[in-house]
Amino acid sequence: MHATEPPYLRIVARIRAAIDAGELRPGDRVPSTRELMRDHGVAMATATKALTTLRQEGLVEPRPGVGTVVARRPRPRPAAAPEGPSPLERVVSTAIRLADADGLAVLSMRRLAAALGLPTMTVYRHVAGKEELLLLMTDAVFGEAPLPRTAHGDWRVRMETSARLQWGVYRRHPWAAEVMSFTRPPMAANAMAHTEWNLATLEAVGVPLPVAMHATMMLANHVRGTAINLEWEAGAEQDTGLDNVQWFTAQEERLARITASGRFPAVVRLAMLGPDAVDFELDTLFEFGLARLLDGLARLVPA
């Protein structure tokens, strides 16, 4: 590994090597984020991203009450990208890989150059700066799952198609939700294709273009607003070994103390229905909100 490799990748390599060598076997607990911070002298974000990378590779998994353990059936690591990309494509794909593993907060031109094994100034030959880099990254990830060439179904089906494809982008690349803006949107062709798709869909059924644009932004903001939680939720589950339902169950005693005042009767009645009464999975929240927004939008579509 290159001497200037980011610290989280060095932690990943060390744990991966221990798994490959059989020193850590399926079901064995791996160090927690706090243990990694102490043993390697890194920040919590770095330790968390090291564990997140191992999880994305299928090498580890959360276990309630234990923490993070070696996966029972580790999935094979993703195949290396075929050789032959252009220097710019290599810069962008490496930046996406770093952002997927460690988030945007620590992605810098200097760190990208280190991951590429290049001097920082060499990277600037391909991209003018971080703003252009983020634009190219956004365009690339939205291009991974393009919209259909032919629009099938009624207006609602077509709007759902766009929303679910956007959700898929954020599911694979949670950092992309941070990049998107609705007042100063990135001029990325593959992202703009969704705007064009939705505008054309609504205009075709009689919705004026200004109204169609507001509707397009409303739906995109729902997708992005829900997706903002993806990275945080993944880190929290990695740290605790608990999914959100298990976490809520663990909070019963604290909730009882808060609601004992009698100020929250509706909350108490909901809690009495049990942990399965409400599904807090982000995918469920996304689908619920999408359906309700389209129900409301239907009122703007002429009969």
Q: List, in sequence order, every beta strand (DSSP E) within the chain.
A: 60-63, 67-70
Low-confidence ranges of the chain (pLDDT < 70): 1-5, 73-84, 234-235, 237-238, 243-245, 275
Question: Can you list the domains of the chain with their CATH numbers?
Answer: 7-70 (1.10.10.10), 87-141 (1.10.10.60), 142-303 (1.10.357.10)
pLDDT for 74 equals 46
298 burial via Cβ count (<10 Å: 0-12, 13-18, 19+): exposed
Phi, psi of 71, rounded to the nearest 5 degrees:
-60, 145
Read off the pTM: 0.66
- CA 234/CA 90 separation, integer angstroms: 27
Residue found by looking up tokens 């009689």 in the block: 206
Cβ-proximal residues to 104 (8 Å cutoff; 6+ apart), any chain: 134, 175, 178, 179
pLDDT for 3 equals 43
- CA 137/CA 133 separation, integer angstroms: 6
pLDDT for 81 equals 47
Tens-digit pLDDT profile for residues 150-188: 777 799 999 999 999 999 999 999 999 988 877 777 788
Query: Dihedral of CA 118/120/121/124: which sign?
Result: positive
Here the tokens at position 139 are 């365009």
Contact between 11 and 50 (Cβ < 8 Å) = yes
Here the tokens at position 204 are 């075709």
Average pLDDT for the chain: 85
Neighbours of 61 (CB within 10 A): 19
The DSSP code for 41 is -
Q: Is 16 helix (H, G, I), strand (E, B) or coil?
A: helix
- CA 7/CA 30 separation, integer angstroms: 17
